[in-house]
Amino acid sequence: MGLIKISVILPTHSRPEQLKDCLRSLLKQEYPLSHFEVIVVDDSGTHYARHLLREFRELSLRYIPHDRNKGVAAARNTGIQNARYPYVALLEDDLVLPPEYLLTIHNYFRLPRLSVLRFRVNPVRRSFWARVNQNYISDAAKTHERYELSDLPVLTACALPIELVHKAGLLNEGFLRCSDTEYALRLRKHGISIHVYTGLTVQHAHRTRFLESLRQKYAWGTHIPKLHRMYPEYVHPQPRAYLYYVKRLFTASADQMLHEKNFIRAFLSLPSLFLLNAAWTLGVFRGTQ
């Protein structure tokens, strides 16, 4: 079997510098340019990305603009529906990929599998707040297995066969947030596994502004009750989930303590982690109203 062909789906929304960094990392892939395409779905409603793509003519690029902002789920669906190849990689415009990213996808899927492959992430900016934010949402995958079965329902930088989409359907556009979580839970309900490749890390330009991160966590929390109604066997918003959020807070705090070289800086991160947890929990309460 030769190299598999991959359609890279790249939604973007008014983040030109991050988009260019992501495209540069695709240019540096240790994978033939003839074996992957990049579908840039501009969800800004302003066609802002059109002129940025001229400097990336070496890539097999297709540009699809939305006439208005429809959300990341709709943008991913647009990309999937226009994909030409049997495998798709779902990216975000603030990801920076290691050179082996596409080759790793090939190595995983060269023997046909009806499953999802995703990757661990680290913040691009090694600022103090970026580390705090990362530790709050990080995947606690600490085994030495190369392909670890994931219980965390997220699809960061994931890859999957298009055949799987035909089985499980497209992303739910009713979720402006947490659409990847809903999709991951749906896949699990269909008996489809998600694996994390722990031998490679994708860089993610996490939000570093405190108020923006609080708004994001609150918005995520408001979707938890809706997910519970759809997948009661997997999502428990109360009271078990509140205890989970407290446990998550202490786990993130412990990780912060371990990773910070300066104990005082690590200690000062605890109020920020507490506020992130409070925003998430408040969102869950609001979503149950």
User: Checking DSSP bridges between strand 6-12 and strand 36-42, what pairing results, if any?
Assistant: parallel
On whether the CB atoms of residues 154 and 180 are closer than 8 A, the answer is: yes
Instruction: Record the tokens describing residue 101, joined without a space.
Output: 């990213």
Q: Please state the pTM of the whole predicted model.
A: 0.83
| pLDDT recorded at residue 127 | 57
Q: How many CA atoms lie within 13 A of 232 on its CB side?
A: 1
User: Which DSSP symbol is given to 145?
Assistant: -
Yes or no: is domain 6-208 CATH 3.40.50.261?
no
- Cβ neighbours, 10 Å, residue 94: 18
- Residues 245 and 238: their CA atoms lie apart, in Å, by 11
| pLDDT recorded at residue 285 | 75
For the chain, helix, strand, coil in percent to 5 are: 45, 20, 35
Which sequence spans correspond to the domains of the chain?
Answer: 6-208, 209-289
Residues of the chain with pLDDT under 50: 139-150, 239-241
